[in-house]
A and B are shown apart, each in its own frame.
Chain A
Amino acid sequence: MSAETIVPTPEEFRRAARGWLAEVAAPRDTSTRWGSGSDAVAVFENWTEEEEHRYTDATRDWERLRYDSGWGALAFDPAVGGRSLPTHYEYLYRMEEADFDVPQRTEIFPVTCQLIAPAIAAWGIPEQTARWLPKLLRSDELTCQLFSETEAGSDLAAVRTRAVRESDGWRLDGHKVWTSGARVSTWGLAVCRTDPDAAKHAGITAFMVRMDAPGVTVRPIRQMTGGESFNEVYLEGVHVPDTDRLGPVGEGWRVTQTVLAAERLDSGSLGIDNALRAVDLAGHQPDLDAARRAAAADLAVRTLVQRALGLRVMATLSAGGQPGPEASVGKLVATRTLRETSDLVADLLGPRLVADDGSWGSWAWTEHVLGAPGYSIAGGTDEIQRTILSERVLGLPREPRR
C-alpha cells in the first residue's frame, strides 16, 4: 500500500499500547508498601563497568522488543522502523508503560534515541540515516555525546579537539569529558574544530566516531557521589571516514544545537519521582512542625507544577505547534526540584543521613543529595539556561562578546 499512514486518536493509540504491553509485560506491582522494596533514589547511576553492561543489556532487550513490535521509534519514518506519529505520541506511550514492570531506561537510551537519533534524521544524508537510524532506534548501537572538554564546557564552541583531513577521511585528536555511557556505546557524536582560522562558531564539524576505533581510550571519572557514571574520552590519532561526518563541514555548531535543544526538552520531568518520594517521607514522619509541613507542601506543589508544564508542552505538540517558553524553562524548574528535595530530606532525616542506621529509605537518600548538584551543571548549567531564556525567549540584548 501507499506510505500514507493513518494517525490513531490519542485514545485509540493508548488503548492499543496498553493492549500490547499487557501481552508482553507484567503490571507494575503497586502493592509494594512504604518501608519495603527498593529504596533507591540515585539520580546518577553508581555502578561498576560489569553492572553497567548488565543493566544496559537488560534494558536493550526490552527496547529491541519494543522496536520490533512497532512501539519504538514512534515519531520516525517507517523506512527506519518508525510510524511517523506526532512527537507527543512517545509521551502517550510512556504514560501507559509506566503502569508496567519494564526496565527503566538509563541515561544512554534517551541520549541515543531522543537526542542523537533526531539529529541524525535532521542532518544525515540518506545513506547515513539508512545505515544508522534503525540500529540506534533499536538500541543495537548506543551513542554517547562527545561534546564537553576541559576548556569547553558552557562555552562549547571553544572546543579544541581537532579534526584534520587525511586520505579518505579525518584524523581526530583531543580530549572529551563528562561523557555518560561511553563504556557501553558503539558510537560517540564528536564536536570537533576543523577550521582553526574560521570564526569560533563556524569552524566546527560533527562526526560519528566508533568508540572501538584505534586511538579511542575511555576512562571513568569518579564523581562526588563516589560512583562512576561518566567518563573522559581520549581521541589520539583516531581515523574517521568522511562517510561518518554528520552534516556539512563547518556546520557542526548547528548540529550540536539540534541535540542540545532536544536535551532541554527531555529534562522537564527530571526529579519528580524523588520529590514525590520525599513528600511521602514527610507523610510517614510521626510528627511534623509547621516549617516542615510547609516545606513538604511546597515540594508537593512543585511536582504538580512540573507535571503541568509537561502537560502544556504535550498539548502544544499535539496541536501541531512548537513548544514555547513552557518548554525552555523545564530544566531550571527540574534542577530546583532536585535541590529542594535534597533540602527537605536532609531536614527530615537529620542524623540518619549522616550515618547509615540500616533503616529503610534513609541512607539511600545520600545518593540523591550528592547527585542532585550534577544536574545543575550537566546538559547546560543553570546559568547558561538563564542566559538562553533571557536572550532567546525574552529577547534581551546579548552579552558583549569578545
Chain B
Amino acid sequence: MPTTTTTGPVTPDIAGLQVDPGLLARGEEQVALAGMARDVLSGSAGQGWAELAALGLVGLLIPEEAGGSGGDARDLAVVMEAAGATLSDAPLLSGAFAVAVLAGLPDAADLLPGIADGSLRATLALPQHSSVTLEGDRVTGSAGPVLDPDADLVLLVATDTAGTPVLVCCAGDADGITRTGLTVLDPTRPLVRLDLTDVPARILAREADLDPALAIGSIALAAESVGITDHALRETVAYVTGRQQFGRPIGSFQAVKHRLADLLVELEAARSAVALAAACAVGAPELLPVTAAAAQLTAGNAAALAVKEYVQLHGGIGFTWEHPAHRYVRRVRASAGLFGSAHEIRLQIADLLGLPGGNSHVR
C-alpha cells in the first residue's frame, strides 16, 4: 500500500501554531474574577440568577454598552472553572452557549441587555438533540434533553420548508410548548424535553453558522471539567495525606502517589488546552474550532480520570451517598453523554483536520 502524494498536509495548519504566550496567562483581573466567582458559587445553595447577573457572571461575553462585562472566552473559562470546582447548579453553561450564539447576531442585539441583567434567562437546544421544523413564523417538533428547564428564552435550530437551518427563539412558556422535566443522572443539572406545536417563534438568522458559538460553548464545558478535575485532585490529595493504613498515610504508597501524579499531568494538560483554545478565540480564530474540540477532549478525559480516582482513593467512604464524589461522577458522565464522548470528539477533530475516511461510518 504506497502512500499517496496527492493530498496536502493536514488543515488547519496546526503545525504552524503561533499564539502570543501572554494570551495563555491569567492576568490580575482574571485572578480576581476567579476568586470572586469561586466565593459566590461556593456560597450557600440557591444563589439567585439575578445576583449572578449583577456580579457580571452571566453577561461575560456581552458588550459593555449592552449591559455586559465586555469580556472574552478567557474570562468565561475562569468563571466556568469555578462553576465546575463548586459543582454549581446555576445554569451558567447553558447561558454561555446561548450568549455565545446571540452575541454574534446583530439582529438579536435587543435581547442582550435582558440577558446581561438576569431578567431574561436563555438556553440553547443543542442542534444534535432537536428536530424542529419552521413554517412561516411557527415551529413544530421536539427538542431534548435541553438544559435549564426554567429558561425564559429557548434558542432552536429549525429547518424551514426549503430545508434551510434557521436559528429561532421562542419564549420558554409560549403557547404550544409542553415542557416535561426529565429524571436525570446529574440532579445538579436539570434537563427538560420540549414538545412544540405551532409555537410562535422569532427568526434570528437564516443559515446561521453556529460553529464558532458552539466552539465557545466547548471551551466553557472544558473549563468546567478543569474545575472538576482540580477539585477532585485537591480533595483526594488531602484525604490520602491524612488517611492512615498499615501505620502510614496511604498517600505515601507509590501505587497511590503515582496515580495522583498522573492526574496532575492530566489536569495541567487540560488547563493548557483550555488556555490555548481561549487564546485562539481571541487571537487565532482559524484555529478556534480545532483547539476548542481539543480542549473539550483533553479536559473531558482529565475529568473522567479525576472522578474515577476521587472515588477509588477515598475507599468505601467515596462510594457513599453522603460523600460528594458521586455528584461529580454524575456531572462528568452526564456531560460526556450530552456533549459528546471522547470517541465522538476525536472523530470530529479528525474531520476538522481533514483526515481521510470521513463521512463513512462502518468499515
Q: Are A290 and B347 in contact, CB atoms less than 8 angstroms apart?
A: yes
Q: Are A311 and B19 in contact, CB atoms less than 8 angstroms apart?
A: yes
In the assembled complex, B7 has its CB within 8 A of some CB on chain A: yes
Asked, given contacts A35-B3, A396-B260, whether A294 binds B17 with beta carbons under 8 Å apart, the answer is no
**Contact check: which of B268, B355, B363 meets A329 at CB < 8 Å?**
B268
A35 vs B8: C-alpha distance when bound (angstroms): 11
**Contact check: which of A294, A304, A394, A399 meets B273 at CB < 8 Å?**
A304
Q: Are A397 and B248 in contact, CB atoms less than 8 angstroms apart?
A: yes
Least CB distance, B302 to chain A, in whole angstroms: 10
Q: Are A315 and B343 in contact, CB atoms less than 8 angstroms apart?
A: no
Q: Are B25 and A394 in contact, CB atoms less than 8 angstroms apart?
A: no
> What residues on B are CB-neighbors of A318 within 8 Å?
21-22
Q: Are A394 and B261 in contact, CB atoms less than 8 angstroms apart?
A: yes
A208 vs B245: C-alpha distance when bound (angstroms): 47
* Stretch from B72-80, B107-115, B250-258 at the A interface: B250-258
> What residues on B are CB-neighbors of A303 within 8 Å?
14-15
> What residues on A are CB-neighbors of B22 within 8 Å?
315, 318
Least CB distance, A276 to chain B, in whole angstroms: 5
In the assembled complex, B337 has its CB within 8 A of some CB on chain A: no
Instruction: Specify the chain B residue showing the minimal Cβ separation from A327.
Output: B268
> What residues on A are CB-neighbors of B276 within 8 Å?
304-305, 307-308, 311
Q: Are A294 and B346 in contact, CB atoms less than 8 angstroms apart?
A: yes
In the assembled complex, B265 has its CB within 8 A of some CB on chain A: yes
Asked, given contacts A288-B356, A329-B264, whether A305 binds B273 with beta carbons under 8 Å apart, the answer is yes
In the assembled complex, B205 has its CB within 8 A of some CB on chain A: no
Inter-chain CB contacts under 8 Å: number = 202
In the assembled complex, B312 has its CB within 8 A of some CB on chain A: no
> What residues on B are CB-neighbors of A295 within 8 Å?
346
Q: Are A285 and B271 in contact, CB atoms less than 8 angstroms apart?
A: no
Instruction: Specify the chain B residue showing the minimal Cβ separation from A273.
Output: B15
> What residues on A are CB-neighbors of B256 within 8 Å?
396
> What residues on B are CB-neighbors of A292 within 8 Å?
357
> What residues on A are CB-neighbors of B349 within 8 Å?
297, 300-301
A391 vs B3: C-alpha distance when bound (angstroms): 47
Q: Are A307 and B17 in contact, CB atoms less than 8 angstroms apart?
A: yes
Least CB distance, B22 to chain A, in whole angstroms: 6
Q: Are A314 and B10 in contact, CB atoms less than 8 angstroms apart?
A: no
Asked, given contacts A34-B9, A301-B294, A305-B272, whether A315 binds B264 with beta carbons under 8 Å apart, the answer is no
> What residues on A are CB-neighbors of B252 within 8 Å?
396-400
> What residues on B are CB-neighbors of A305 within 8 Å?
269, 272-273, 276, 294, 298
Q: Mark A365-402, 1 if CB is under 8 A from B, else 0.
A: 00000000000000000010111011101111111100
> What residues on A are CB-neighbors of B135 within 8 Å?
none
In the assembled complex, A49 has its CB within 8 A of some CB on chain B: no
**Contact check: which of B24, B254, B347, B355 meets A283 at CB < 8 Å?**
B355
Q: Are A389 and B265 in contact, CB atoms less than 8 angstroms apart?
A: yes
A292 vs B343: C-alpha distance when bound (angstroms): 11
In the assembled complex, B320 has its CB within 8 A of some CB on chain A: no
In the assembled complex, B162 has its CB within 8 A of some CB on chain A: no
Least CB distance, B174 to chain A, in whole angstroms: 41
B21, B25, B355, B356: most-surrounded residue (chain A CB, <10 A):
B21
A387 vs B290: C-alpha distance when bound (angstroms): 34
Q: Mark A67-78, 1 if CB is under 8 A from B, else 0.
A: 000000000000
Q: Are A279 and B237 in contact, CB atoms less than 8 angstroms apart?
A: no
> What residues on A are CB-neighbors of B264 within 8 Å?
325, 329, 389-390, 393-394
A312 vs B273: C-alpha distance when bound (angstroms): 10
A389, A393, A399: most-surrounded residue (chain B CB, <10 A):
A389
A390 vs B254: C-alpha distance when bound (angstroms): 9
In the assembled complex, B4 has its CB within 8 A of some CB on chain A: yes
B24, B271, B343: most-surrounded residue (chain A CB, <10 A):
B24
Q: Mark B105-125, 1 if CB is under 8 A from A, else 0.
A: 000000000000000000000
A400 vs B252: C-alpha distance when bound (angstroms): 8
Q: Mark A173-206, 1 if CB is under 8 A from B, else 0.
A: 0000000000000000000000000000000000
B9, B19, B279, B291: most-surrounded residue (chain A CB, <10 A):
B9
Asked, given contacts A308-B275, A326-B272, whether A390 binds B350 with beta carbons under 8 Å apart, the answer is no
Q: Are A276 and B261 in contact, CB atoms less than 8 angstroms apart?
A: no
Q: Are B257 and A390 in contact, CB atoms less than 8 angstroms apart?
A: yes
Within 8 A of B (CB), among A311-333: 311-312, 314-316, 318-319, 325-326, 329, 332-333
> What residues on B are CB-neighbors of A391 within 8 Å?
257
In the assembled complex, B240 has its CB within 8 A of some CB on chain A: yes
Q: Are B273 and A297 in contact, CB atoms less than 8 angstroms apart?
A: no
Q: Are B25 and A389 in contact, CB atoms less than 8 angstroms apart?
A: no
Least CB distance, B232 to chain A, in whole angstroms: 13
Q: Are A326 and B273 in contact, CB atoms less than 8 angstroms apart?
A: no
> What residues on A are CB-neighbors of B257 within 8 Å?
386-387, 390-391, 394, 396
B261, B264, B279, B357: most-surrounded residue (chain A CB, <10 A):
B261
> What residues on B are CB-neighbors of A332 within 8 Å?
261-262, 265
A389 vs B3: C-alpha distance when bound (angstroms): 42
Q: Are A312 and B5 in contact, CB atoms less than 8 angstroms apart?
A: no
> What residues on B are CB-neighbors of A246 within 8 Å?
none
Within 8 A of A (CB), among B87-136: none
In the assembled complex, A282 has its CB within 8 A of some CB on chain B: yes
> What residues on B are CB-neighbors of A219 within 8 Å?
none
Least CB distance, A94 to chain B, in whole angstroms: 13
**Contact check: which of A285, A289, A300, A399 meets B353 at CB < 8 Å?**
A300
**Shortest 3 CB-CB contacts between residues of A and residues of B:** A390-B257, A315-B25, A308-B272
Q: Please, could you name 13 A-B residue pairs with CB atoms under 8 Å apart, sorted by A?
A: A34-B8, A35-B5, A281-B3, A290-B347, A290-B361, A293-B347, A294-B350, A301-B298, A304-B17, A332-B261, A383-B258, A399-B254, A400-B248
CB within 8 Å of B: which residues of A?
33-35, 88, 95, 276, 279-290, 292-298, 300-301, 303-305, 307-309, 311-312, 314-316, 318-319, 325-326, 329, 332-333, 350, 352, 359-362, 383, 385-387, 389-391, 393-400
A315-B25, A397-B249 are known contacts; what are 19 more A-B pairs with Cβ within 8 Å? Answer: A34-B3, A288-B350, A289-B357, A289-B363, A297-B347, A298-B297, A300-B353, A305-B298, A308-B275, A319-B25, A325-B264, A329-B264, A329-B265, A333-B268, A362-B3, A389-B264, A394-B237, A396-B260, A397-B252
